[in-house]
Chain A
Amino acid sequence: MNVTATQGLRQCLELSWRCIVKIRRNPLVLADVLIGPAVFLVLFVYVFGGAIQGSAQDYLDYMVPGVLGLTTLLATMGVGVSLNTDLEKGVFDRLRSLPIWRAAPLIGAIGGDMVRQVVAIAALLGFGTLLGFRVRTDAWSVLAACGLAIAFALAFSWVWVLLALVMKDPQSVQGLGALLIFPLSFASNIFVDPATMPGWLQGFVAINPVRHLMDAIRGLMLDGPVARPLLWTVLWMAGVVLVFVPLALAAYRRRA
């Protein structure tokens, strides 16, 4: 290790800051996380709400925490796309030719994506409240739910880092990532209660990390049980990090 921890951290922050500067120069890159949550809410609550839950209002209460999980998961796509673009454009080569901590470009990309997470959550909660969603707990619980969603997204980002390092272009990163996110989100309890799903699918839902995340978030916002789903979510996050960080670092070294 030739870089001290403080230097390494400062380099990560500098590279995260780069992403924020880009947003300031071109705020349109936030369009997906800004408008996405509103589109999801309106579509799901008013198109399916009556059919699924009998009343749109009940379904709104169910879906605001659901879309919270979904949008933070979707926002992690930014990590993969920005990293892969750097690779493709040669920016990564410039960074790697500098005497910086080897992992700084990767962690910087994840850090920069945090802004998108925060914007997505703020947009969702703001729009949800506008439609009539009310939290049944308190502000601290909501904050905890948001924090948990972001922490989950941070862990999940390493999957994107790996994809960005092994795929050829940003389009294929996005394509493969979407293939991964759709089953994780739809075959969970984000949109509906899994009780009506066939047994084999319920088996998948039971182990799906997104399902535990959703239970924890709903528990925190709608005053339900929290401890058990929280424990599972944290275990899953640790598992994802333990598996994908080494894989991503290995792919990074192989590219070197």
Chain B
Amino acid sequence: MTYAIEATGLVKRYGDVTALNGVDLAVPAGSVLGVLGPNGAGKTTAVRILATLLRPDAGTARIGGYDLRRQAHEIRLIIGLAGQYASVDEDLSGLHNLTMVGRLLGLPRAEARRRADDLLAEMDLADAGGRSVKTYSGGMRRRLDLAASLVNRPAVLFLDEPTSGLDPAKRNDMWASIRALANQGSTVLLTTQYLEEADHLADDIVVIDAGRVVAQGSPGDLKRRAGTQTLDIRLVDPSRTAEAAALVAAVVGVEPARHRTAGHLSVPVTGGALMPAVIRRIDDAGVEVAELALRLPSLDDVFLALTGHTARTLEGTTT
């Protein structure tokens, strides 16, 4: 199998903080890899390294067969990068942002213009093309940023949290655009904090936490391990938590996670039939339940299921 992205042992330190602590990645050409992790897990650092913006302290990588350290220029010819923060010039129009990228890539003026017009149309921005990017909505900026990363028709596309901060409708539009790109044969590496997003778009998922790969597999694999839903149970009497946990484990077959707030348990479940069974067992034992809820698993639940601990979120940092 040929890999479009192949990384071994990537390490990046910022002073005492280790942002990446030996990350290996292998993305087959034409596939979509979802890099899933909480804030501060090292997702952005990994993308910046692979997109030649940051030098790793250790480790090697090949993008499209080119060596990251020695052939950065060749890599830049074949990659596209759309960042978490829309990296377009907000004082220029959308059209000029795109023609400028085309010109910098060496396209003749007319061709750069044509490519920009095509991309604006493709991203549903044709009407806004002449306007200053300052006037764009968050979703429009993201689409323009994505368009700017596509001018060179990249074989490998890096998308760093392409939908963070977008409302659900805009997010679905973005998903459609990304899927269309993948269908055209681009290799895509996208980072996300949402299991649902990775599930939707990725062929394979790598879960990273605190700079390390903690799990990887197909979305199906990971979901099986995390359950398709999470059952939340709050007890009236927190002193009976251990007893209730044992009862739940006996029914579901998985030890439930205990939250910091006493008397609160969560357990991954697959299939609706388990919920009544759990209720019956707890009820039979005379343990009173204050609240019972079935919900989609959050990233925390996935982490709990995959790693046995909750995600170590570094608030406010995106490394």
Taking CB atoms, residues of chain A closer than 8 Å to B164 are: none
**A18 CA to B88 CA, complexed, in Å:** 12
**A18 CA to B98 CA, complexed, in Å:** 12
Q: Are B100 and A93 in contact (CB under 8 A)?
A: no
Which of A3, A11, A89, A98 lies in contact with B85, CB distance below 8 A? A89
**A50 CA to B72 CA, complexed, in Å:** 62
Which of B87, B91, B96 lies in contact with A94, CB distance below 8 A? B87
Given known A18-B89, A22-B92, A89-B87, contact A97–B103 (CB-CB < 8 A): no
Which of A7, A14, A25, A89 lies in contact with B132, CB distance below 8 A? A25
User: B25-33, B50-58, B173-181, B223-231: which lies at the A interface?
Assistant: B50-58
B86 at the interface (CB under 8 A from A): yes
Chain A window 11-25, contacts with chain B (Cβ cutoff 8 Å), 1 for yes, 0 for no: 100110010011001
Taking CB atoms, residues of chain A closer than 8 Å to B152 are: 99
Shortest A142–chain B CB gap in Å is 34
Which of A18, A89, A92, A97 lies in contact with B51, CB distance below 8 A? A97
Taking CB atoms, residues of chain A closer than 8 Å to B106 are: 7, 10
Q: Are B85 and A2 in contact (CB under 8 A)?
A: no
Closest to A13 in B: B103
Taking CB atoms, residues of chain B closer than 8 Å to A100 are: 104
Taking CB atoms, residues of chain A closer than 8 Å to B77 are: 99
- For chain A residues 66-115, which have a beta carbon within 8 Å of chain B? 86, 89-100, 104
Given known A21-B96, A94-B148, A96-B53, contact A14–B87 (CB-CB < 8 A): no
Most chain A CB within a 10 A radius of its CB, from B92, B100, B104: B104
- For chain B residues 132-151, which have a beta carbon within 8 Å of chain A? 132, 148-149
Taking CB atoms, residues of chain B closer than 8 Å to A10 are: 103, 106
Q: How many A-B residue pairs have CB under 8 A?
A: 75
Q: How many residues of B contact A (CB 8 A)?
A: 34
A196 at the interface (CB under 8 A from B): no
- For chain A residues 150-169, which have a beta carbon within 8 Å of chain B? none
- For chain B residues 72-105, which have a beta carbon within 8 Å of chain A? 73-74, 76-77, 79-81, 83, 85-93, 96, 100-101, 103-105
Closest to A11 in B: B104
Q: Are A91 and B79 in contact (CB under 8 A)?
A: no
Q: Are B55 and A94 in contact (CB under 8 A)?
A: no
Chain B window 204-217, contacts with chain A (Cβ cutoff 8 Å), 1 for yes, 0 for no: 00000000000000
Taking CB atoms, residues of chain A closer than 8 Å to B91 are: 22, 25-26
Q: Are A91 and B73 in contact (CB under 8 A)?
A: no
**A2 CA to B91 CA, complexed, in Å:** 30
Q: How many residues of A contact B (CB 8 A)?
A: 27
Taking CB atoms, residues of chain B closer than 8 Å to A130 are: none
**A221 CA to B51 CA, complexed, in Å:** 52
Given known A14-B100, A99-B73, A99-B76, contact A94–B81 (CB-CB < 8 A): yes
Q: Are B52 and A98 in contact (CB under 8 A)?
A: no
Given known A14-B100, A97-B79, A100-B104, contact A89–B53 (CB-CB < 8 A): no
Which of A11, A91, A98 lies in contact with B76, CB distance below 8 A? A98
Which of A14, A18, A256 lies in contact with B53, CB distance below 8 A? A256
Which of B73, B76, B79, B87 lies in contact with A90, CB distance below 8 A? B87
**A25 CA to B94 CA, complexed, in Å:** 13
Q: Are A99 and B54 in contact (CB under 8 A)?
A: no
Taking CB atoms, residues of chain A closer than 8 Å to B85 are: 89-90
Q: Are B92 and A18 in contact (CB under 8 A)?
A: yes
Taking CB atoms, residues of chain B closer than 8 Å to A90 are: 83, 85-87
**A202 CA to B76 CA, complexed, in Å:** 53
**A75 CA to B273 CA, complexed, in Å:** 72
Taking CB atoms, residues of chain A closer than 8 Å to B52 are: 96-97
Taking CB atoms, residues of chain B closer than 8 Å to A2 are: 73-74
Taking CB atoms, residues of chain A closer than 8 Å to B55 are: 256
Taking CB atoms, residues of chain A closer than 8 Å to B74 are: 2
**A91 CA to B88 CA, complexed, in Å:** 6
Taking CB atoms, residues of chain B closer than 8 Å to A14 are: 100, 103-104
Give chain A's interface residues, CB within 8 Å of chain B. 2-3, 7, 10-11, 14-15, 18, 21-22, 25-26, 86, 89-100, 104, 256
Extra pairs beyond A98-B104, A256-B55 (15, CB < 8 Å):
A2-B74, A11-B104, A14-B104, A18-B89, A25-B92, A26-B91, A89-B90, A93-B87, A94-B81, A94-B149, A97-B51, A97-B76, A98-B105, A99-B105, A256-B54
8 A-B residue pairs with Cβ-Cβ distance under 8 Å, sorted by A, are A22-B91, A22-B92, A90-B85, A90-B86, A91-B88, A93-B83, A94-B148, A97-B80
